[in-house]
């Protein structure tokens, strides 16, 4: 991660409640981070590729961390990961999966596609804040 790039998290989450809780938790433990939201896999790809409104990199900077749900409309989180892996300039951006799936095959596939960490969505707000803190500490250690 470059020092001159803003610390931006791209949260890819289709559930409005989960997105709101994640925004609050990460805002609490990573107040220096700028959180951007993509509501489905296609929107995430548009954001990452700078298409349409996302071409304005002052308003929509490339993220320095991607928080990715797997169960998304239009394109799944796995499809986003596969697309990202084909984009050399984006492969360096760490991806953390934050999803409801605890299925071993989903965890294995995500790891094969190069995610840095895999977290099952916590049930309580306190657990979400603790998860957010763990993710933010690891992210800060990267640079």
Poorest-pLDDT segment among 36-40, 44-48, 77-81, 133-137:
133-137
For residue 87, tell me if it sits in a domain.
yes
Residue 3, domain member (yes or no): no
Which CATH number characterizes residue 15's domain? 3.40.50.2300
38 occurs within a structural domain = yes
Instruction: Please say if the pLDDT value at position 20 is more than 90.
Output: yes
Task: Report the pLDDT value the prediction gives residue 137, as an integer from 0 to 100.
Answer: 86
Write the pLDDT tens digit of every residue in 74-114. 999 999 999 999 999 999 999 999 999 999 999 999 999 99
Q: What is the pTM assigned to this prediction?
A: 0.92
Residue 29: per-residue pLDDT: 92
71-75's contacts with Cβ under 8 Å and 24+ in sequence apart are 71/14, 71/99, 71/100, 71/101, 72/12, 72/14, 72/40, 72/41, 72/44, 73/14, 73/40, 73/41, 74/40, 74/41, 74/42, 74/43, 75/40, 75/41, 75/42, 75/44, 75/45
pLDDT in tens, 9-19: 999 999 999 99
> Into how many domains does the chain fold?
1
- Rounded distance, CA 143 to CA 141, Å? 5
Structural domain for 36, as ranges: 8-142
């Amino acid at each position: 991660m470059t020092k001159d790039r803003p610390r931006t998290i791209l949260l890819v989450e289709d559930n409005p409640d989960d997105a709101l809780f994640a925004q609050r938790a990460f805002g609490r433990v990573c107040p220096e981070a700028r959180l951007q939201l993509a509501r489905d896999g296609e929107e995430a790809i548009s954001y990452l590729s700078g298409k349409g409104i996302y071409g304005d990199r002052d308003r929509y900077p490339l993220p320095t961390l991607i928080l990715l749900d797997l169960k998304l409309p239009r394109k799944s989180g796995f499809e986003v990961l596969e697309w990202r892996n084909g984009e050399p300039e984006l492969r360096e951006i760490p991806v953390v999966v934050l999803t409801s799936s605890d299925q071993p095959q989903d965890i294995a596939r995500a790891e094969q596609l190069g995610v840095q960490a895999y977290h099952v969505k916590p049930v309580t707000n306190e657990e979400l804040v603790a998860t957010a803190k763990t993710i933010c500490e690891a992210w800060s250690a990267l640079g």
